[in-house]
Amino acid sequence: MKSIKRSQYIISLFIIFFIAGMTALVIKIRTEADFYMMNSDGQALGMVYDRNGGVLFDGKGTGIYEDNFFVDVGNLIGDNKGQMTNTLVAQNLDKLNNYSFSSGTVDDGKAAIYTTLDHNANRAVYNAYGWQKGCAVAYNYKTGEILVCTSLPSIDVTKGYDGIEYFESGTLISKNMYRTVPGSTQKVSTVVSALEIMGADRLFSKVYNCSAHYTNLNGDVIDCHNQGGHGDQNIQQALENSCNPFFAQLIENNEDLPLDDIKKQYRKMGYAVNDDEYGYIDIDGIQCETASTTLMDSHEFRTQWGCIGQGDTMVSPIQLMMWQSAIANGTGKMTMPHIIDHVTDVNGDITDIAETSFSKQIFSADTASTVRQMLLTNGANHYVYSISGYTVGVKSGTAQVDEGAKENSLLVGFVDDPNKPVAFCILIEDKNAGFLTTEQVVKIMLDSINLQ
Amino acid sequence: MDFFTDTSNIFLCAVSAAALDLCVLVLILIAYNEKKHAQQYWNRISCCMELSAPDVSYPLNCDEILIGRHASADIRLPDLSVSRYHAILTVSDGIWTITDIGSKSGVFVNGTLVTERILRENDVINLGNKRLIFRRRRNNNVH
Amino acid sequence: MYINTFLYIISCIFVLLSHSAMLLNIYFNGNAESTAKVIILSVAVLGLDFVYFIIMLMFKQRSYAIDFLLILILNMSVIFQSCFGGVHLSVKHYITCIASLAACKAGYIICKNHKWLQVQKKYIYLAIGILIVVILTLTGSRSMWINIGSISIQPSEFIKPLFVLACATSVAEQQKKRKVLCFYVVYENFALYGLTAVICLLQWWCRDLGSLPTFVGIFVCGFFLRICYPKAKFSKKTLITAGVILLIVALIALRFAPDYVQERLHTDIWSDKTGNGYQQSHALIAIADGGWFGKGAGYGDLHNVFAYENDIVFATISEEWGLLFALMVMLAILIMLAVPLINPPRSYYHSTMSAGVCAYFIMQMSLNIFGSCNMIPFTGVTIPLISAGGSSMVTSGFMVGMLIAAQSPEFKRPAIRQQRNARRQTA
């Protein structure tokens, strides 16, 4: 009867509501179970391997390793202790956990992360630094595989965190991921912008004089590192000389190089200009800061220095390296770096195989090949002996930090060799404290990288 | 050995889950079977009565049956002479009673205007222009 | 006596079989210190089964399906509760289960004759009134527990079945209209609305916001069955539109709710794992850890977390027995609630009562399960028949009794009215 039917409708509605809720719950649990297990105390973590099968992280903690075996990648690979969060293990605990919803936690499971890193090369670079600090990163600009990513000072995670309050600052982070003053390596970005806006012919026709000091229209003085000045030079010479007055005059030339166009080009390349919000480059869960700068007025001191590589400009080494890939590829598209090659789950089945991906066009292919040629010329003219055996396109930089108290040395570049397509960025902190040069590090790094 | 305990765990889990499922299934079937008994019991309570109009007959399947013009009435008589809620039929101890619930045209049983009246077999009920006969159900396939 | 002996024996066998399968599972993979404990548990569970099968026959019912489902679920809950953190018979839960069975039979006897019950409706209101006074006077300041020695009673639980009975209504009752001004008014409905308001205020005052949705659920159910029938002022279309509008308004209100409300609604349990999110995050981890097939009876870790045996019992069961099994237990409860769909009650009063019971069960289960799994705010309510807790077990047992009553009703005029009628006739 109708009256009874009505109550039956209500009962059915309630039951359907509950079943729908339970379905949603099961789907939620099924998809988020890995995440829940990351928060569990009873984890059975697997291993992290390098490209040659060497151990980079031992989740089981059963292996026996030499002293400081993991120190070169300590602050990149990290661990699950929670002290370092922006690390490969901390960000990928769910992949490393020997757990699946159907089989539960398996203590001797086969979950593992196979990285693209080359442990030998990392160790060689780490050792090359000696007691000096800094960071070095290199990757295959054809595939995006990060080969070397080391940062000093570092720690060996197997030793724990005793005396953490006495650790030197920067021990627990990979400096490659964080912004630093780029110094003259910034001039690459400025050259790229100028080429995009003016075109190669007009840019190469520009000749400016350098007499060690340049007083801009606002009356501020831009100094050159060469006390005698460089005289008249074109863009190629200025880039090789890393001549600050030349670039100051180039920026100040508002007719040929409107500042709004520079801003537009900088934003395209990933800078956060003025009050833009910072973004992050995601490298397999690890967050890498993007560049930032301040460009207000082309006659302003700060803006000119910003384009030269001091002032408010900050870039992370990884991003400097990624721009090199866009130049080296000759396409104007950056190769997106990745660090995980593939992952195996608890049963040993391969999941998450990395694929090479590219950014969108950040500058034209013509610009890329012009800058590529300029950097190769620079390399051929100045680095043939120091980086012997490799055809490299490079740009060096010296960055003043701590208000000029210290100088960091930087070198960005790429190897022009189809068998070793490596783009890199080297940073040596406080270069005047020791005798290590960036070229030495690059040489050691390239020698030790084994792509076969 | 590890493998054995592992699989035996899953096996026993599956067995107990299956036993539970089977039990629930059997109880559902039993509930369906009991529906038949409930119908028999209801037939005893309601004396297998029905209301029949010339062309249709209305089974009496629950203990309060609302008769009226409104769509939500259990027995709907779409005639303007019937009030929206006209009368209600109730049963207890096998006795059916018809009650007028404030209708405009009244309830007539065997020609007499009533407000509440115990119905007997073959009583003729007039609601407005509609005429219903209270009688034992004809089809014999109901036990 | 049961109508069909064959079906009775079949049902008994299958209930015993499913309990035995679980006990066997405990015997082989359970975390039992000694076999004796498993045997004690088995004797207790199977013994209760047998005793109840016999007792069942003493009641002249026409339907026993719900009885079988009840004993199946209750003894499963005894097994669950006995396994948390190592196998040992949970005597307290065992006793409350027996109390629950007794309450079930009491509920059946009280509710089987709906005509008698309707005559007693004022006493239902009176009982609720007394319980409210008891809560206001005897419970500690603004709480919901009465502590007598070592026993804690939650009187607000006992209001729930009475409220279901108050919400149930018959067609005849809804036809007793009185004209007030130019509206036809059913006094009984207004009594119910007033009662609901009082109960909601009381829940608010007691800070027992967990029970509030249950009461609202039961009321909504009763309210719909009043306004749709026999008044039927609202067509299906109007109702659906109203529902959709309400939903949209609720969503908009949620979107623009003040921050502190939103914060309460979306607690990020993972960033507060040791504070407010402790129970929920551990419950979710436990479910994930258990997976489909569980860790084995007695091997769970969740029994170290507060309220493992009632508020987050779904997770505790999932961890030890597997999500699959926990879902099936919930399915068994749903099937019990769905029996009125298979075998419809014969009176409107009983069918509204069944709907109320269904609303109570579903609301409690939803609040508990979805709350402990962080889909809705976490409120400490119990899963009827599964969670430990005397008041809740007795109440839900009584409610199941009401379902049984709707299946095996009696159609007799209440004695009082018959006497009065007889007197009137003789006069």
More confident residue, A348 or A150: A150
Peptide bond into A153 cis (omega under 30): yes
The pLDDT value given to residue C265: 65
Q: Which residue of B has its CA nearest to A2?
A: B74
The C-alpha angle with vertex C400 and arms to C394 and C401, in degrees rounded to 5, equals 90
- Per-residue confidence band for A373, with pLDDT thresholds at 50, 70 and 90: very high
The single-letter code of the amino acid at B73 is A
Q: Which residues of B touch C28 (CB under 8 A)?
A: 8, 12
C-alpha–C-alpha distance, residues C37 and C25, integer Å = 14
Could you tell me the CA-to-CA distances from C133 to A385, C121, C141, C202, C327 in Å, in that order? 96, 19, 13, 10, 39
**Could you report the per-residue pLDDT of A218-272, keeping only the tens digit for each?**
888 888 888 888 888 988 888 888 888 898 888 888 788 888 899 999 998 989 9
Residue A61 DSSP label: -
What is residue B143's predicted lDDT score, i.e. its pLDDT? 42
What's the pLDDT band for C1 if we cut at 50, 70, 90? Answer: very low
CB of A169 within 8 A of CB of A152?
A: no
Q: Which residues of A touch C295 (CB under 8 A)?
A: 104
Spell C247-279 as b/e; 16+ CB within 10 A means b: eeeeeeeeeeeeeeeeeeeebebeeeeeeebeb
Give the separation between CA C196 and CA C188, rounded to whole angstroms. 12
Nearest CA to CA, how far is C59 from chain B (Å)?
Answer: 16
C-alpha A286/C-alpha A265 separation (Å) is: 26
Contact by Cβ (8 Å): B123, B109: yes
Among B46, B93, A100, B19, residue whose Cα is nearest residue C414: B93
Mutate to test the interface with B, among C16, C66, C117, C171 (most CBs of B within 10 A): C171
A2: which chain B residues are within 8 Å (Cβ-Cβ)? 72-74
Handedness of CA A120, A121, A122, A125 (dihedral sign): positive
Pairing of strands B87-92, C151-153: unpaired
B73, A4: Cβ pair inside 8 Å?
no
| Nearest C-alpha in B relative to A104 | B6
Contact B30 C407 (CB under 8 A): no
Q: Can you tell me the distance from the alpha carbon of C323 to that of C107, in angstroms, rounded to the nearest whole number?
A: 32
Contact B23 C328 (CB under 8 A): no
Size (chain B), residues = 143
Q: Which tokens in the block code for residue A273?
A: 């200009």
Question: pLDDT confidence of C294, banded at 50, 70, 90?
Answer: confident
Sign of the C-alpha dihedral computed for residues B134, B136, B142 and B143 taken in this order: positive
| Distances C343 to A83, A207, C182, C202, C221 between C-alpha atoms, Å | 62, 97, 41, 37, 20
Q: Does C354 touch chain A (CB under 8 A)?
A: yes
Integer angstrom CA distances of residue C144 from A31, A235, C366:
38, 82, 21
Question: Following DSSP, what letter does each residue of C327-388 receive, concatenated?
Answer: HHHHHHHHHHHHHHHHS--SSHHHHHHHHHHHHHHHHHHHHHHHHHTTSS-------TTTS-
Task: Tell me the whole-structure pTM to 2 decimals.
Answer: 0.80
Residues C314-329 have pLDDT tens digits of: 999 999 888 999 999 9
Mind listing the pLDDT tens digit for each residue in A165-213? 888 888 888 999 999 999 889 999 999 999 999 888 888 888 888 888 8
- Range with the largest mean pLDDT of A321-325, A344-348, C257-261: A321-325
The closest alpha carbon to B70, from A359, C175, C81, belongs to C175
Hey, of B62, B69, B85, B91, which one would you mutate to test binding to chain A, going by the most A CBs within 10 A of its CB?
Answer: B62
SS3 annotation, C23-59: HHHHHHHCCCCCHHHHHHHHHHHHHHHHHHHHHHHCC
Residue A427 and residue A448 in contact, taking contact as beta carbons nearer than 8 Å: no
Confirm whether the ipTM is greater than 0.85. Answer: yes
Q: Let me know the angle formed at the C-alpha of A329 by A324 and A333, rounded to the nearest 5 degrees.
A: 75
Q: Say whether B66 and A3 touch across the interface (CB within 8 A).
A: yes
The count of C-alpha atoms lying within 13 angstroms of the C-alpha of C20, restricted to the half-sphere facing its C-beta, is 9
Min CA distance, A11 vs chain C (Å)? 5
CA-to-CA distance for C400 and C337, rounded, in angstroms?
Answer: 9
pLDDT of residue A428: 93
d(C-alpha A371, C-alpha A381), whole Å: 15
Q: Which residue of C has its CA nearest to A37?
A: C285
End-to-end alpha-carbon separation of chain A, Å?
81
Q: How far apart are the first and last CA of chain C?
A: 42
User: Average pLDDT for consecutive 10-residue bins of chain B (143 residues)?
Assistant: 59 86 91 86 84 85 86 84 87 85 87 89 88 79 44
Long-range own/partner contacts, residues B3-7 (CB < 8 A, 24 or more apart): B5/C29
10 Å CB burial of residue C426 (0-12, 13-18, 19+) is exposed
Tracing tokens 């299906």 back to the chain, one arrives at C236
- Of residues C29, C107, C22, C9, the one with CA closest to residue C299: C29
Confidence of residue C41 (pLDDT cuts 50, 70, 90): very high
State the Cα–Cα distance between residues A86 and A91, nearest whole angstrom. 7
pLDDT in tens, C215-252: 989 998 888 888 765 455 556 777 788 889 988 988 88
pLDDT digits (tens, 9 = 90+) for C123-152: 999 999 998 888 888 776 556 677 776 777
Q: Which candidate in C329, C362, C376, C407 is best for mutational testing of the A interface (most A CBs within 10 A)?
A: C362
Residues A174 and A76 sit within 8 Å (Cβ to Cβ): yes
